[in-house]
Amino acid sequence: MASDSESFDLSILGLSPVEGKRLELEAELGEFEFAGEPYRPEPQPCPVVVDVTRMNNGGWSLKLAFETTMRGTCMRCLGPAERTIAVEVREVDQVDGGEELDSPYINGTEVALNQWAHDSLALALPTQVICRPQCLGLCPRCGIDLNADPGHEHEADKDPRWSKLDELKFD
Ligand SMILES: [Zn+2]
Ligand SMILES: [Zn+2]
């Protein structure tokens, strides 16, 4: 994707050491896929806030914050899901800072904003994108949507003889 290489240059900010600036930019967040289902963050491009601080050793400290709405398939019931996710991440890049302080998204004064935003969102995503916190999902036996029939049960589940048997086994 061509947009992945999109970057902005910190040198044009003309910051002196210890000076900082807040930038309002836009980032392409790209697309995501879980279990073969596409998930798309909206809007795109997404407004983002980048707080840039130039450190007194010549390095940079950056904070990226944005909010996006993820649309896709509920991982429990396979219905449509929509979830708002707030992302706030920090990167530090120091000259001779070693691996820990060498941000993969800051190369000299170039910031790979789209890649940074995409990766940060991937990490911030809940492991399950679901339609609502209390989504009941699908019946593991017959696959019907339990949200449409919350009382749904199979005979064996509530047959008192089975629970009696279970009690006996444990005694
Ligand atoms: Zn659901
Ligand atoms: Zn069922």
| pLDDT (tens digit per residue) in 117-134 | 999 998 887 666 889 989
Q: Which ligand is nearest to the CA of 148?
A: 1
CB under 5 Å of ion ligand 2: residues: 139, 141-142
Determine the Cα–Cα distance for residues 45 and 3; give it in Å rounded to an integer. 10
State the pLDDT at residue 129.
83
State the pLDDT at residue 1.
38
How far apart, in Å, are the Cα atoms of 68 and each of 41, 121, 122, 154? Answer: 6, 9, 12, 40
Going from the Cα of 141 to the center of ligand 1, the distance in angstroms, rounded, reads 17
Q: Give me the residue label for tokens 């795109």.
A: 44
State the pLDDT at residue 7.
82
Which of 40, 31, 34, 53 is closest to 114 using CA atoms? 31
Which of 13, 28, 27, 25 is closest to 60 using CA atoms? 13
Q: Which residues of the chain have pLDDT under 70?
A: 1-5, 97-99, 126-128, 156-171
Quickly count helices (H) and strands (E) in the chain: 3, 9
State the pLDDT at residue 161.
62
- How far the first Cα of the chain sits from its last, in Å, is 63
State the pLDDT at residue 54.
94
State the pLDDT at residue 121.
93
DSSP character at residue 138: B
Going from the Cα of 36 to the center of ligand 2, the distance in angstroms, rounded, reads 24
